Chain A
Amino acid sequence: MTDSEKKLKLTVNGKEVESAPGEMLIAAAEKAGVLIPRFCYHPRLEPVGVCRMCLVEVKGPRGFTLQPACYIAVADGMEVVTDSDKAKKAQDGVLEFLLANHPLDCPVCDKGGECPLQDQTLTFGPSESRFVEEKRHFEKPIAISKLVYLDRERCIQCDRCTRFAADIAGEALIDFEGRGGELHIATFPDKPFASYFSGNTAQICPVGALTTTPYRFKARPWDLEQVESTCVSCAVGCQMVVQSSENEIVRYLGIDSEAVNQSWLCDKGRFGFESVSSAERIPSPYFNEASGMVETGWSQALDKIAKALKSAEPESVAVIGGSHMANEDIYTWVKLAKGVIGTDSVDAQLDDGLDPKIVALSDRATIQEATQAKLLILMAGDLREELPILFLRIRSAAKKAGLKILEISLSETSLSEEAEVSLRYFPGHAEELVNGLFGAEIDPQLFAGDLQAARALVSSVDPASVVVVGGRENLADSSLDPERAIAKLLDTLVGSKFLSGLRRGNVNGAIDLGMVPGFVPGRSQLQAGNEALRAKWKTLPRKAGRNSKEILESALKGEIKVLFLLGADLISDFSDSALAEKALSNIPMVVGIDTLTNRTTSHCSVVLPATAFAERHGSTTNIEGRVSTLGKKLVGFSLSRPEWMIAVELAAYMGEDLGFENLHDIWGEIQEVSQLHRGLSIAALGAPGAKEGIVVPLSASKVQISTRRVLDPIATPGITSVGVSGPPSSSAALPGEGDPVLSESTYSPQRSKLLELLAQNDRAKAGPEADNFALVVSKRLYDHGVEVMSAKHLSELVAPSKGRVSPKGWGQIGLNGSGLTRLQGNGASVELELVVDPSLLDGVVKVEFDGALGEVSKLFGVDNSTSRVKMEKV
């Protein structure tokens, strides 16, 4: 059946409206310009039809009756009247009922000014209340978590927050309590609403019943200025609105991007804005001298760095970091390092990712493709901890559309419950397990899970309809084993696609633009040569460079003279903090470019202040390769500058001209040198229909021209959302201002057998040993990283790192009641609390990474193929 055949027609207020089967009347009417009043209806939630505000007259066998428009599916020939006296009376009646017990505290309510109840009352409501009785009273407000306040008197029992918590986030930590007039929202005593997604409930609350702590009493809606942007707290690329008041960010709100975040944000993304105004911001350039910090000017600082660069061999210059930067910064720094200085030792990853070849040279999937795959294979860290909104998308697809998932992991994750089959492996044996999946014999002692079922699952689907999400689950192990396992999956399942599970903000853009060793912009390998690049770049590195781990190891040998750290807090974030600290002390010139002082800035010779998120324009790239824009809302803090500008000026001090005066110049050159980005003009990116970003490489089948719509007009007034309306008929143009040119890219991945591109894994692969445990270190959302710790309210959510062992392991250590345990490894000793996790294999201990605390990272060295720790009860 074609789309046009599926259309059906109904009349709303005498006007003919087209709709499709399954659509709810409220949505069909809205498209036709009839906004039926509503409170409980939210297009991203299952309808419940409880507020009864959307009662309209629908003609049935017994004539017109009042029906809830949010719960009635359209039917061909349906006759609907939304503005009759009877419908109006019913709607007015509901509104009056809702107001009966609602407090008159609008002047002190955060929602005041953007409150659907207030707005609808002003538009339709009575001027005076007929309710002369005593209103209901509840204790208020109640902090149901460190981020969300609940005011039960304002609540209109619309069930939005509870539906979100139970159905979307899968954490029914808030629920209704009581009955009838006493029905109210509650958390269980001593079990707060500790969800990574709690802020969404405040965004969708149609009254001021749920408000967020960081925004509380901060601003009035009419004073807010806003700009659309892309969240970079992880690499999902959620679309959002940045709202500020008096040059201070006060709130982020999720935009409904059909392709990406579908209106949701995680709390780390939503509340991370507090770090922008953190007291830890670096105000001006400074030198770290023996006497201490010495503030300096930009010219002195850049001059000093330029001099150091001039006297250094290209190979002795290295760049680490940059995964948080905008695409334009990344390209400019890559050009400076590889195209001017001539070093390939540039690495945006901190030994916590994957070999860039996997990301750059595989066929890539979009999030939508992943959620619609016949089979999704997960071989990444816990997505709820690393890419929270991707977790929500996959969970929803599994719950609602029956997405089949095969999980290959070291322990249970938040998606294990949704997986058809979960396979577990002993650290270091991922490749072996994947070989086993394709028929090889494997040692049953090193694995758990139903391998037969997994084999049947994989062979039941067309390999070309499989998507593999690949990431890095274990920081304490060499990345080679999981890399080879992912490569094996992609190679064997011919036609399968890869969705990057790399979590750092713009790390995928960094790989796309060559900010990794061995690559140049455009997912192109260095040795491949590139004519377009040679025309624009002065030079190209002569030797293949080092990755961040190798850079630090070379530094120990005195081979690194100048190291740039682009937003890289090595001592906190590099998995082997001891190596990082030693290496830094052995480099004559360490240049730290950052927004916040951190544990690494004190080890830098020169520190330069960078502008933060929302203080600059630009673009970023998400896990899909989707390029979307960053909005600027604030004046840059103090003397800070955007990173691209720092590179341009540094080049100037070296006597070189990078050729860029603004972001347009940079983007223009990216398009010229990168086949991958060809055709994606900056005007196209800025077009209204492209606000959710455009996936590179451009192809007519993937580019989706979207229409802007207001998703939830009552709770987020004025924030338009992006809804997909299908692929464009031609790839020629996007609607919008300017002259957007969007031509199809000629890029095609240099796909060969990925496995052949990776090193052989000839390291010893030991299994469980009697006297020690194999160490697994995994990321979690709220670690002690500087990003979280500098955001006041998020920092309060950071808990000490915990460890997990199998029940047998618990017994082996002799734990009983308390899990306090001393872990010894790599010459260090750390004490932490262990809990029992039956999903872990015996002989394994899984520990949460603790970022800036830097305790956990002492336990392992990056050269260990499988890190081992001894454990004893404290």
Chain B
Amino acid sequence: MPLPPLKIVSARANDPKNVTLEGYLANGGYQGLKRAVLEMNPEDVRDQVMQASLLGRGGAGFEAGRKWSMLKKSDIRYLVINGDESEPATFKDHMLVESDPHQLVEGALIAGYAIGAARVFIFLRGEFALGFERVQNAINEAYDYGAIGRDIFGSKFSIDLVLHPGAGAYICGEETSLLESLEGKRGFPRIKPPYFPAVIGLYGKPTIVNNVETVANLPWIVKNGASSFTDLGAGRSRGTRMFALSGQVNRPGTYELEMAKNTFRDIIFDPEFGGGLRPGRSLKAIIPGGVSAPWLGPDQLDVVLGQDEVAAVGSMLGSGSIIVMDDSTCMVKAAWRISKFFARESCGQCTPCREGGSWIEKVMNRIESGAGREEDLDLLMDLCDNIVPGVSWPPQQTTICVLGPSIPSSVAVSIKMFRDEYLTHIKEGGCPYD
């Protein structure tokens, strides 16, 4: 049985007044920021975050405190908040920006203070129009409240914060691509090395890029102390995590759960959460952590929702999304749709991703629509191998960023798990589920 949920970032999500400064203050808002700038030195804030073992909530799961410590010394350094949430079936940041915009602003300012950012940019996915309005309103209120601008809260610390709209490109969730986009260019990812943002980031200056949910944790951590945070969770996975549950479950939604304390079975079947599958349906596969993650089968329902625990079974916790597919779903179609997504969202820079991605999508489409050939399965596997040598996990890369290596995942894993279903498509000349 899951533990009763202790909420950090979504604690105020159901309070409609919380989107205004007044409501947020009534809920204890801006106490963390006040404490940070009035009572703490920047290095103290960084220490707290380091001690909290706050793993990045964007997908890669890199420890935020360590990321900050890698920031190259420079008079000018920037903080960019990554709110370009576009990973399929991931909608926790969407919920956070719309329901608690001040928390995001406060968290961003705490991070800005901790690293001494010259300016903070919140890069928000363009399609989040309502979220944009709410965050912009929060920023306007925060300026008036004295939380942003000159000598915030009467401290000697001044900072400006700019909300920047994306314009619709999945790749901009990749941090170097996001920086290119923020610089007014196409979102072409940069090559690492040397373009590690912490060394060469926005405008060539050292830059920290943190996810919305990551910084949303900061007000709570500063207010309650790192040890309260590490009291939650287990192993490397501390605090709570927003999970976005979707697909064929009764109660899709976002659920904030303590890290590493619940299993896939808990979140999918517990009546408090997913509430199980539709009547008469059985589980066929789960896609955890985003569509670049290898799928899991019903036999892996008891895997614990922790960063290392999911990695141990050959997949990833990633962005915290969980897609549930029941036995009414065509696995070829699901894998095809994911390959179509990557083909559409490839930036086009690297050959294997640009050409390989659309080639794979075309073959997948052909199989799903009934014109597949048996040799297509070998072809697909070999194309996957040419993008990710050995079709390994975690993937080896032939491209600049990780979008390319994400392409083979669903294709290869679905062929491995559901080869018969592919063969049926080929033999019957069509989709058995149509």
Residues of A within 8 A of B (CB): 48-53, 55, 65-66, 68, 71, 86, 89-90, 92-94, 96-98, 100-101, 130-131, 133-134, 156-157, 159, 176, 178-183
Chain B: CB-nearest residue to A101: B355
Chain A: CB-nearest residue to B366: A133
Asked if B347 and A156 make an inter-chain contact with CB atoms under 8 angstroms apart, the answer reads no
B352 interface neighbour in A52, A86, A134, A179, Cβ under 8 Å:
A52
Q: Which of B8-16, B80-88, B391-399, B423-431 contacts its partner?
A: B391-399
Asked if B359 and A180 make an inter-chain contact with CB atoms under 8 angstroms apart, the answer reads no
Asked if A180 and B366 make an inter-chain contact with CB atoms under 8 angstroms apart, the answer reads no
Once bound together, how far apart are the Cα atoms of A238 and B65, in whole Å?
A: 55
Q: Which residues of A contact B356 (CB under 8 A)?
A: 93, 97
A-B contact count (CB 8 A): 100
- Knowing A89-B386, A100-B355, A131-B359 are in contact, say whether A183-B397 is a contact too (CB < 8 A): no
- Knowing A49-B400, A97-B356, A133-B363 are in contact, say whether A181-B351 is a contact too (CB < 8 A): no
Q: Which residues of B contact A130 (CB under 8 A)?
A: 379
Q: Which of B283-291, B338-346, B412-420 contacts its partner?
A: B338-346
A181 CB, nearest partner CB in chain B, Å: 4
Asked if B350 and A98 make an inter-chain contact with CB atoms under 8 angstroms apart, the answer reads no
Chain B: CB-nearest residue to A92: B386
Q: Which residues of B contact A50 (CB under 8 A)?
A: 349-351, 400
Asked if A181 and B398 make an inter-chain contact with CB atoms under 8 angstroms apart, the answer reads no
Asked if A133 and B359 make an inter-chain contact with CB atoms under 8 angstroms apart, the answer reads yes
Q: What are 14 A-B pairs with beta-carbon distances under 8 A?
A: A51-B350, A52-B350, A90-B389, A94-B386, A97-B354, A130-B379, A133-B362, A159-B349, A179-B169, A179-B347, A179-B348, A181-B343, A181-B355, A181-B357
A61 CB, nearest partner CB in chain B, Å: 13
A151 CB, nearest partner CB in chain B, Å: 17
Asked if A93 and B348 make an inter-chain contact with CB atoms under 8 angstroms apart, the answer reads no
11 new A-B contacts, CB < 8 A, other than A51-B351, A176-B348, are: A52-B399, A66-B396, A89-B389, A90-B389, A93-B387, A94-B398, A133-B363, A133-B366, A159-B349, A176-B186, A179-B345
Asked if B352 and A94 make an inter-chain contact with CB atoms under 8 angstroms apart, the answer reads yes
A53 CB, nearest partner CB in chain B, Å: 7
CB of B358 within 8 A of chain A? yes
Chain B: CB-nearest residue to A176: B186
- Knowing A86-B389, A90-B389 are in contact, say whether A182-B351 is a contact too (CB < 8 A): no
- Knowing A97-B359, A181-B357 are in contact, say whether A66-B349 is a contact too (CB < 8 A): no
- From residue 152 to 201 of chain B, which have CB atoms closer than 8 A to chain A? 169, 186, 191
Residues of B within 8 A of A (CB): 169, 186, 191, 343-352, 354-359, 362-363, 366, 379, 383, 385-387, 389, 396-400
In the A-B complex, the 8 residue pairs with the closest CB atoms: A93-B386, A183-B348, A97-B355, A180-B346, A181-B358, A133-B362, A180-B348, A50-B349
Once bound together, how far apart are the Cα atoms of A556 and B97, in whole Å?
A: 86
B369 CB, nearest partner CB in chain A, Å: 12
B360 CB, nearest partner CB in chain A, Å: 10
Q: Which residues of B contact A92 (CB under 8 A)?
A: 386
Once bound together, how far apart are the Cα atoms of A93 and B407, in whole Å?
A: 15
A230 CB, nearest partner CB in chain B, Å: 38
Once bound together, how far apart are the Cα atoms of A354 and B168, in whole Å?
A: 58
- Knowing A90-B386, A133-B359 are in contact, say whether A178-B379 is a contact too (CB < 8 A): no
Asked if A65 and B398 make an inter-chain contact with CB atoms under 8 angstroms apart, the answer reads no
A94 interface neighbour in B169, B351, B359, B397, Cβ under 8 Å:
B351
Once bound together, how far apart are the Cα atoms of A818 and B277, in whole Å?
A: 73
Asked if A180 and B347 make an inter-chain contact with CB atoms under 8 angstroms apart, the answer reads yes
Asked if B349 and A157 make an inter-chain contact with CB atoms under 8 angstroms apart, the answer reads yes
A59 CB, nearest partner CB in chain B, Å: 14
- Between A53, A65, A90, the greatest number of chain B beta carbons within 10 A of the residue's beta carbon is seen for A90
- Between A68, A94, A159, the greatest number of chain B beta carbons within 10 A of the residue's beta carbon is seen for A94
A181 interface neighbour in B186, B354, B366, Cβ under 8 Å:
B354
Once bound together, how far apart are the Cα atoms of A98 and B228, in whole Å?
A: 54
Once bound together, how far apart are the Cα atoms of A182 and B349, in whole Å?
A: 11
Asked if A180 and B389 make an inter-chain contact with CB atoms under 8 angstroms apart, the answer reads no
Once bound together, how far apart are the Cα atoms of A156 and B351, in whole Å?
A: 8
A97 interface neighbour in B186, B347, B351, B363, Cβ under 8 Å:
B351
B16 CB, nearest partner CB in chain A, Å: 38
Q: Which residues of B contact A183 (CB under 8 A)?
A: 347-349, 354
Once bound together, how far apart are the Cα atoms of A96 and B358, in whole Å?
A: 13
Asked if B191 and A90 make an inter-chain contact with CB atoms under 8 angstroms apart, the answer reads no
Q: Which residues of A contact B399 (CB under 8 A)?
A: 52
Q: Which residues of A contact B358 (CB under 8 A)?
A: 180-181
Q: Which residues of A contact B347 (CB under 8 A)?
A: 179-180, 183
- Knowing A65-B396, A97-B356, A100-B359 are in contact, say whether A49-B169 is a contact too (CB < 8 A): no
Q: Which residues of B contact A133 (CB under 8 A)?
A: 359, 362-363, 366
Q: Which residues of A contact B379 (CB under 8 A)?
A: 130
Q: Which residues of B contact A96 (CB under 8 A)?
A: 386
Once bound together, how far apart are the Cα atoms of A94 and B344, in whole Å?
A: 19
Once bound together, how far apart are the Cα atoms of A98 and B359, in whole Å?
A: 11
Chain B: CB-nearest residue to A72: B193
Once bound together, how far apart are the Cα atoms of A836 and B25, in whole Å?
A: 56
Once bound together, how far apart are the Cα atoms of A50 and B191, in whole Å?
A: 9
B395 CB, nearest partner CB in chain A, Å: 11
A52 interface neighbour in B169, B351, B366, Cβ under 8 Å:
B351
Chain A: CB-nearest residue to B361: A181
Asked if A93 and B398 make an inter-chain contact with CB atoms under 8 angstroms apart, the answer reads yes
B384 CB, nearest partner CB in chain A, Å: 10
Once bound together, how far apart are the Cα atoms of A133 and B343, in whole Å?
A: 15
Once bound together, how far apart are the Cα atoms of A376 and B227, in whole Å?
A: 62
Once bound together, how far apart are the Cα atoms of A157 and B387, in whole Å?
A: 18
Once bound together, how far apart are the Cα atoms of A755 and B209, in whole Å?
A: 61
- Knowing A71-B191, A97-B355, A133-B366 are in contact, say whether A52-B346 is a contact too (CB < 8 A): no
B386 interface neighbour in A97, A156, A176, A179, Cβ under 8 Å:
A97
Q: Which residues of B contact A182 (CB under 8 A)?
A: 348
Asked if A90 and B348 make an inter-chain contact with CB atoms under 8 angstroms apart, the answer reads no
Once bound together, how far apart are the Cα atoms of A96 and B363, in whole Å?
A: 15
Q: Which residues of B contact A97 (CB under 8 A)?
A: 351-352, 354-356, 359, 386
Q: Which residues of B contact A90 (CB under 8 A)?
A: 386, 389, 398
Asked if A180 and B386 make an inter-chain contact with CB atoms under 8 angstroms apart, the answer reads no
Once bound together, how far apart are the Cα atoms of A280 and B345, in whole Å?
A: 56
- Knowing A49-B191, A181-B343 are in contact, say whether A66-B351 is a contact too (CB < 8 A): no
Q: Which residues of B contact A157 (CB under 8 A)?
A: 348-349, 351, 354
B345 interface neighbour in A98, A101, A180, Cβ under 8 Å:
A180
B373 CB, nearest partner CB in chain A, Å: 9
Chain A: CB-nearest residue to B358: A181
- Between A65, A97, A159, A176, the greatest number of chain B beta carbons within 10 A of the residue's beta carbon is seen for A97
Q: Which residues of A contact B385 (CB under 8 A)?
A: 89, 93
B81 CB, nearest partner CB in chain A, Å: 24
Q: Which residues of A contact B349 (CB under 8 A)?
A: 48, 50, 157, 159, 183
B393 CB, nearest partner CB in chain A, Å: 15
B209 CB, nearest partner CB in chain A, Å: 21
A160 CB, nearest partner CB in chain B, Å: 13
Q: Which residues of A contact B344 (CB under 8 A)?
A: 180
Once bound together, how far apart are the Cα atoms of A93 and B354, in whole Å?
A: 13
Once bound together, how far apart are the Cα atoms of A183 and B387, in whole Å?
A: 19
Q: Which residues of B contact A101 (CB under 8 A)?
A: 355
B329 CB, nearest partner CB in chain A, Å: 25
Once bound together, how far apart are the Cα atoms of A93 and B348, in whole Å?
A: 16
Once bound together, how far apart are the Cα atoms of A159 and B357, in whole Å?
A: 19
Chain B: CB-nearest residue to A90: B398
Chain A: CB-nearest residue to B353: A180
Chain B: CB-nearest residue to A50: B349
Chain A: CB-nearest residue to B186: A176
- Between A100, A159, A180, A182, the greatest number of chain B beta carbons within 10 A of the residue's beta carbon is seen for A180
Once bound together, how far apart are the Cα atoms of A100 and B169, in whole Å?
A: 25
A179 interface neighbour in B346, B351, B362, B400, Cβ under 8 Å:
B346
- Knowing A71-B191, A96-B386, A133-B366 are in contact, say whether A178-B351 is a contact too (CB < 8 A): no
Q: Which residues of B contact A176 (CB under 8 A)?
A: 186, 348
Q: Which residues of A contact B169 (CB under 8 A)?
A: 179
